[in-house]
A and B are shown apart, each in its own frame.
Chain A
């Protein structure tokens, strides 16, 4: 069966520090991978998605970047965190298209101080 792993679960980082959040999927090949940010009252905001290795689509210009170095690995990064980067980050995967919905990871609560 397919599983999705996301870590760390919580993270407290100072302003200006770098960020690396990792997401991996097991039990499937060539998944579509997604990074969302969830903020109270603002729903889920799509940040990046990838349909294959090295292929990244950015939905919202901001202080973050994403990479997909391997088929089932998706990384969210920042060179210098801002206070406004605080939030709950969710990774998700789907089969080749999003027709059938996503499976979400457990999320990372990021607090920038």
Chain B
């Protein structure tokens, strides 16, 4: 079955630290890839997405993600995190069909 794996369930960092959240998916065909974020008390919202072209995708708030097809990975990065980045982050994949499969999420806690 298609699946998305997020390696870290809970990450704690200090402000200004660099961030990398891992994501791997199981499907070998053509995919669209997403990172969603849920800030405390807010809706799930799209952070960034990859369809094709440049495998390095830049999103909102200084986030970026790199699609590495050979590794089936789409890791999320940010060079310097802020306290306001405290949230839950979900990696997701769409296999060019009608639905998106989500990972279990990573809770990121930034210490001020």
Distance (whole angstroms) from the CB of B9 to the closest CB of chain A: 7
B45 at the interface (CB under 8 A from A): yes
B74 at the interface (CB under 8 A from A): no
Choice from B96, B97, B99 contacting A34 with Cβ under 8 Å? B99
The answer on a CB contact under 8 Å between A43 and B104 is yes
Contact with A along B12-50 (1 / 0, CB 8 A): 000000000000000000001010000000011110010
Residues of A within 8 A of B101 (CB): 46
The answer on a CB contact under 8 Å between A43 and B103 is yes
The answer on a CB contact under 8 Å between A104 and B45 is yes
Query: What's the interface size class on B, roughly?
Result: 20 to 34
CA distance A102 to B97 in the complex (A): 13
B94 at the interface (CB under 8 A from A): yes
Please report the number of residue pairs spanning A and B whose Cβ atoms sit closer than 8 angstroms: 58
A15 at the interface (CB under 8 A from B): no
The answer on a CB contact under 8 Å between A43 and B96 is no
A106 at the interface (CB under 8 A from B): yes
Residues of A within 8 A of B44 (CB): 44, 90, 104
Choice from B96, B99, B103 contacting A46 with Cβ under 8 Å? B99
Closest residue on chain B to residue A32 by CB atoms: B98
Interface size on A, residues (CB 8 A): 23
**Interface members, chain B 66-112 (any A CB < 8 Å):** 90, 92, 94, 96-105
A interface with B by C-beta (< 8 Å):
32, 34, 36, 41-44, 46, 49, 51, 57, 59, 90, 97-102, 104-107
22 A–B pairs (Cβ distance < 8 Å), ordered by A: A32-B98, A41-B104, A41-B105, A43-B6, A43-B105, A44-B44, A44-B92, A51-B98, A57-B98, A97-B94, A97-B96, A97-B98, A98-B32, A98-B94, A98-B97, A98-B98, A99-B32, A99-B51, A99-B94, A101-B49, A101-B94, A104-B45
